[in-house]
Structure 1
């Protein structure tokens, strides 16, 4: 409570006023400042001129009583604790004034007793508690409004980003634009950077609202770290840096963690290391920490060590705080919202760990964090050997082959990376994200007379792993060559995979020469550029126009369509640019596409038009997407609906309306191709 309490005394008896004022003036702590009025009109005038902490109100005021005054105070919107003073004791009066909103009720004979001061204090404490509750409610409402605004902002920004990135991809794919490839690449790179900033902002918003949940899974540590190395090695190589992974103590083969969020932390730290290191190396060190007084269990520790420019010691306490940046040479040539490390800290906390940094200005930095690896008591342990592979002296093969290759990996970035390497050898490429999708793609391709010649199959995947997928293929009498891709290095693994029936084994990270040896073994070598000219044109859907041994199209990162007849797709999107872009991308892939810009048009177009799929935006001018979906299904029960949204849709709400697929804007060419590649 304040040292000075401002009291409004509403009392029409002067003697009682002097009695009350005299008692309060004798108090040394707290001190009281008293304003005296005699009726409700004077009280309202006083409230307009001055702020009061408490009101002492006589029950009888000439023609008015306390109930009348309380009603007047309430009607003017004045909120203040009111203690009623009376010269008589009447329990009915007590009940009435308390129901009318008084904070307490006292007899005037108690003014000079300790109970009077206690009543004053309690009334004000209750008022402070109520003020805190109101303020807390305001903050909660402001946070809800902020979350709603950020969700809306995310949607509004992702929609134009779809057009920016999508049309830039189309222009980059056009050979006629070679002279402006550099400018287009700059647009595309900056668009992706803007998207990463947006993702950071939305992640931070979810963290601050305590809405970010982890999804722990069993993670094969060797495979996981090899994937991280593969994803970041190209960025390191582009700057002439060496990226290596060193394991200093035996670690469990399998841990329990959220792979997406753990990967996010590592990639963020490695990306920062690459960004701020101009020469030298970046090393990721992994080891186990024994149980301690702070943590009564073993922890898995990661260190990201760089030889970069480092940070001043006085800046180290700030870098994990949201929106903090080091405003000196470190940020002179590097953008960012200052959220990446703050997000890392919160994610590591959610994984029951801590993150810290050691740095010397001009010498480099070491970021260290540890996570709870789950129950690892029964897990075998081994030293990981994931250092950067030494470069081969073998001259690079200029391989030119024809054939169809299916790449199966649950990480989209690694699928695309492997697909890029395969497409450089002019083979056709299709993708699947798990064993089930791979099985469907291979069997459909065989039924339609365009079988795959080779499947590159990752071993560790969700839904169905590579070994189970291979067994399922063989049960269907499919004899397509399947080569395993694995990061595990334990003794005898290669032979055990060959014993399972794989035709070969490739290690991660995939070496280009090893991959080309596999392609040369299982695909048909063609005669290079001359063969392209002799073979003739390639159909728009990516399939050769004849069954002869001709090379596939040499477009960068081609995607194979395994269907023989075009798919009919309805795009339901109110943003004209985004709708036209998706239509254009899908038409280029050989599909028949129409656009509806609102729900009513979609319902009219769906009837008797034979659409197989609908890309449905959640935010339409006349419908919410999840309200429209059941009405679409009433017209076409077999319609496959894919949600397209600028924000992450609620999985439970999608499940409630029978929708299993969704795309997050900005939607890229690769997203759409992968979505319909196996239809």
Structure 2
């Protein structure tokens, strides 16, 4: 097919016009479609009326010259490439027109030479490249604006969600609210659902901007899958469904992947299975597939099968598209923004696999994906053996004990589940997310003469595992009772952990009866059957609770939203801390001039300053103060590091998050 190039000739000499037109008409490929105007004003009108591929502009046009025309075109946003035609070559003029924005220049005697055609071609190619660059820049700016908008939207939504969820939690815990527990639970559930939709939206934004990164590390696979089972089993039981996690092959003892994102995919698929299954079961099958050399590494496959409503064949691909939902599913009011599966597919792709689905309408669906598990040691393959969570866990324990318990687990949801059971027995609960944090918490509590009486320590954690944390505690002469919590079930493991110095061992998922036995053994029973005298004396001597006054912290909350600041003050006051609120940077500075604080909880967006600048100023008043960022935005980790800030909370902030942080 013959290419057609649209040329606008801006030339006030009729003879030069005929010369140029005659030459262009003789070209067969490409073909030229020539339009002629004699001045800059007509040229601008022609360029506004229809598109041209290139302009040929005479340097002298009566009272105006090429510089005037170029400036006028630029001022009106015309980006077509312009080649200047001159009567004779002049280096000074040539340089001047190029600086003014011309694509190139030619003498009129070169019109019938090969250089003329090359110049035209090069000018158009350069213009296309420049247009593409400008278009990319435009898209980048639009993406930046969108990202900024979504970040702002996230912040604006997270702040009121803090109040909604926080006050609902307080009311749920208040005995005076027993008559409206069902209504409060509905508010709390829907608030958390709104938060999950917001998180999905922000995740999808990061994926589309190619800004979502994985943080892989070694994880104990059986413990990881047991945690997933614990988290999702109650949701299945609430609908009368059974949830089974099984393996038809040996699986690695450890895998190398991002546990947060793998957990997100599995929970999303299991949640969908529960949502769209009214009776029957959900079965998660794990299988290991050996690799075939470097080009085909080993893969770990997950199949999530349900006996739910299923899907029609023509709907199977659309469910992975962002914001897509099947119409009859939407009519059934199952909720969601239609982002979960799109996010899951992208996450699986980043983990080295693909997410697919097979389904039969009315009979159920199977979602399948594989991930690269990292380097696999053939000598460390094991059976995946998980114990189903006990139904009794949901019941209220009858044991009433006194003492302080530190729960150490890298998974927040598991810390929360365990903490809930322990607090039901009326013990005081603290939290740590790894061995290093646990070591710091125990030693600090003992230094302040307010020790922990029991540590429930997960074995497999990042930064410092449970065994190393125990050894570090004993090197520091701490004699706190430490109970290992592990999902591993290999023969001899319990005795091995006892030999390494643990006082006891509890399996995952945590059995209520086992936990009550441990609490009764290492804490003080405050009512109920009396324990043996000699055992009681031993426990009292080792674990006698101290005065709570030493645990009280002085906290400054810097937050411009009055509802959010009042809620945090209320939550922290209920935990026994002294709390002062500042709504601006100036108020915060004035408070620091008048008193010292243990913690500053600092919002990043304030009416008179930004949080980072205020943090830097705060350090000048009290260098050893612990500053914690509390914001609806993802904080800048590099900026935090520069300011010596180690902790950040993303809104909405719950009472558990604050208890976990300030202990």
Normalized against structure 1, the TM-score is what? Answer: 0.89
Further displaced range: 38-47 or 368-377: 38-47
Hey, what does 1:46 align to over in structure 2? Answer: 46
Instruction: Confirm or deny that 1:617 pairs with 2:603.
Output: yes
> How many matched pairs?
651
Shift of 1:475: 3.7
| Separation in 2, partners of 1:233, 1:71 | 71
Bigger drift between 447-456 and 404-413 goes to: 447-456
* 8 A contact 2:402–2:525 mirrored in 1: no
Tell whether the 8 Å contact from 1:244 to 1:282 is kept in structure 2 after alignment: yes
Aligned to 1:253: 253
Find the aligned partners of 1:219 and 1:568 in 2 and give their Cα distance: 37
* CA pair 184-261 structure 1, distance change in 2 beyond 3 A: same
Query: Per the alignment, in what secondary structure is the counterpart of residue 319 of structure 2?
Result: coil
Matches within 5 A, 1:579-658: 579-658=565-644
Provide, for residues 533-579 of structure 1, a one-character-per-residue CA deviation record: whole Å limited to 9, x for no partner.
xxxxxxxxxxxxxx99xx99xxxxxxx99653532111111111111
Contact 1:574 1:598 in 2 (8 A): yes
Change (3 A) 1:64 1:476: closer
Aligned to 2:556: 570
Match of 1:300 in 2: 300
For residues 453 and 100 of structure 1, do their structure 2 counterparts lie closer, same or farther at Cα, with a shift above 3 Å needed?
closer
Which moved further from structure 2: 478-487 or 572-581?
A: 478-487
Name the residue aligned to 2:401. Answer: 402
Quick one: distance in 1 between partners of 2:67 and 2:435? 76
Q: CA deviation at 1:586?
A: 1.1
1:153 is matched with 153
Please report how far the alpha carbon of residue 72 of structure 1 lies from its aligned counterpart in structure 2 after TM superposition. Answer: 4.1
Q: Root-mean-square deviation (CA), in Å?
A: 3.0
Rounded to whole Å, the distance in 1 between the matches of 2:59 and 2:424 is 93
Q: How does 1:54-203 map to 2 (within 5 A)?
A: 54-89=54-89, 93-203=93-203
Q: For 1:667 and 1:70, how far apart are their aligned partners in 2?
A: 58
- Aligned partners of 2:402 and 2:234: how far apart in 1? 27
What is the rounded CA distance, in whole Å, between the counterparts of 1:565 and 1:138 in structure 2?
A: 55
Q: Distance in 2 between matches of 1:507 and 1:143?
A: 48
Task: Write the distance in 2 (CA, Å) between the matches of 1:298 and 1:292.
Answer: 8
Q: Say which is worse superposed, 279-288 or 115-124, in terms of deviation.
A: 115-124
Question: Once structures 1 and 2 are overlaid, which stretch shifts more, 118-127 or 71-80?
Answer: 71-80
Contact kept? 1:574, 1:596, Cα under 8 Å: yes
Paired residue for 1:666? 652
SS of structure 1 residue aligned to 2:373 = coil
Q: Displacement of 1:144 after TM fit?
A: 0.8
CA distance in 2, matches of 1:464, 1:563: 31
CA 623–277 in structure 1, closer or farther in 2 if over 3 Å, else same? same
Alpha carbons of 1:398 and 1:118: their partners in 2 closer, same or farther (altered >3 Å)?
Answer: closer
Q: Is the 8 A contact 1:618 1:645 kept in 2?
A: yes
Query: 2: distance between equivalents of 1:64 and 1:648?
Result: 56
Unaligned runs of 5+ in 1: 532-546, 553-559
Deviations 1:336-369 (A, max 9, x none): 1111111112212221222211111111111111
* Greater alpha carbon shift after TM alignment, 105-114 vs 651-660: 105-114
Aligned match of 1:273: 273
Question: In 2 relative to 1, CA 295–163 (structure 1 residues): closer, same or farther, beyond 3 Å?
Answer: farther
User: SS of the counterpart of 2:594?
Assistant: coil
What does residue 21 of structure 1 align with? Answer: 21
How far residue 125 of structure 1 moved from its aligned partner, in angstroms, is: 2.4
Structure 2: runs of 5 or more not aligned: 531-539
- Give the direction of change, closer, same or farther, for the CA distance of 1:20–1:389 in structure 2 (3 Å limit): same
Structure 2 contact 246–384 (Cα < 8 Å) conserved: yes
- Deviation string for 1:647-676 (max 9, x for gaps)? 221222111001111111111111112222
1:17–1:412 Cα change, 3 Å: same
Distance 1:569 1:5 in 2: 72
SS across alignment from 1:319? helix
Q: CA deviation at 1:217?
A: 1.1
* Cα displacement (A) at 1:463: 2.9
**Aligned-partner Cα distance in 1 for 2:444–2:33:** 87
Q: Helix, strand or coil: the match of 1:570?
A: strand
Deviation at residue 155 of structure 1 after TM alignment: 1.0
Tell me the CA shift for residue 70 of structure 1: 3.2
Q: Tell me, yes or no, if structure 1 residue 321 matches structure 2 residue 321.
A: yes
- In structure 2, relative to structure 1, the CA distance for the partners of 1:449 and 1:495 (3 Å cut) is same
**Distance (whole Å) between structure 2 residues aligned to residue 72 and residue 525 of structure 1:** 89
SS at match of 1:407: strand
TM-score normalized with structure 2 length: 0.91
Shift of 1:93: 4.7
SS in structure 1 of the partner of residue 517 of structure 2:
helix
SS at 1:83 equivalent: strand
Q: Which deviations, in whole Å up to 9, do the C-alpha atoms of 1:296-344 show, x marking residues without a partner?
A: 2111222211111112111111222222222213662211111111111
Q: Which residue of 2 aligns with 1:228?
A: 228
Question: In structure 2, what is the Cα distance between the partners aligned to 1:496 and 1:352?
Answer: 36
Look up the match of 1:541. Answer: none
Pair 1:60–1:437, CA change in 2 (3 A): closer
* Structure 2 counterpart SS, 1:602: helix
Residue 599 of structure 1: CA displacement? 0.8
More helix as a share of residues: 2
Does 2:430 match 1:430? yes
Cα distance in 2, alignment partners of residues 617 and 391 from structure 1: 41
